[in-house]
Chain A
């Protein structure tokens, strides 16, 4: 567990990702975690929180503003520098690949903060994976809906059974070396162009 606990500030406009990071930090024993979604008025918040470590997502356009503030700020107890050590190229790359950046109060020992960045990197990666899987599931569902509509068009216009309509779609897709969803989409589009509303 953490000895004297570090104050960690997480800045992320994505609330879900921020709460995933926060949960990870708390599980690792960090009790003093603050999450900010909006950077308005952040100078005062930083002065109040006095964070030892700041974690921010790379998509945030306010990184330039924050870095400038860290350099100028008289409110923060010590100047804050980039967390990742220049010599530690692997962790820098892992962080940037994951889309996360971190700053640390100058003088804080590397081994105390490294686990925090490592945790943030793995949670950022897990979040991206989750978002990707969600997107795949969504497009899978979309494709299934389109195939159903295409089947109904074939059943109505050619008097086929549902099974025969599906077989025809699948055979066409195989012959043309395309996905069944693409064939179905072409059919739905063509039916929309050619005729009155198909079956709704």
Chain B
């Protein structure tokens, strides 16, 4: 076999590029193309929507002269592609523009609202995973038993109940009637401004600062919306876990393991569960990503000042800089989570290395 590093004239080529570098470059290129595509589509949708961004800035009472002035200030007198080019170059420099709704830099707004969403979605996913995975495994192991029926019932409710309805009922029962949890918002009015932000995640910051009263109050605010989101994750994760496990438990190697006399614990957790981890990682990553961008209704009901609510309110107000900024953040998160789950995939499955 010819030496692939020597060309036909006998001279040496550049040293071979390691596989991991090539893979990383390919991943980076994919990420860049995805984000650019996302930017382009969102930008164009924002510009061709049949609503007037100038009116969103100046209101309907403004004079024609004020309208024309703002039209120029927003750069709307430029061709669409020029507007897009200006926007992309600004974004590459970290400038998402100003929000016409809040009057602040979009990056400032996102830095304020994103930690709220991150905190809520992370806790929600944790609840979903901690409860959902064991429930799915048990339901598969004891197929047809009451716990399997329960898992299916939980999944059915989770899929069919509107989240805003469950949210309101949850507030009514646990906050309004029982008083077990605190009401809407991230923190009680008496606890605001006590903890100097480090990460923007109140639970983390209050713990790092040793402000346990604040931590307790923040926890009592987040637990209900997080449980609600966790429940929806749980419904999805437990159903998928059950399905994956059933497939594994019907395999010959499981029968072989049982014939060899391994304990049920070893068979289920040591063999069958071990083989569904790769699929589960993808499921959990998707569930997490969905919570990060899809908890708008929960945020509205619980007055949770998060990214979903920010983007939705901005969209209704035709505040396109905010919508674009938020969309890019969410798109980047999706891509990031996908890359992360890909890495985990390789970690769990040696064949993919």
A and B bound?
no
- Contact surface of A with B, Cβ cutoff 8 Å: none
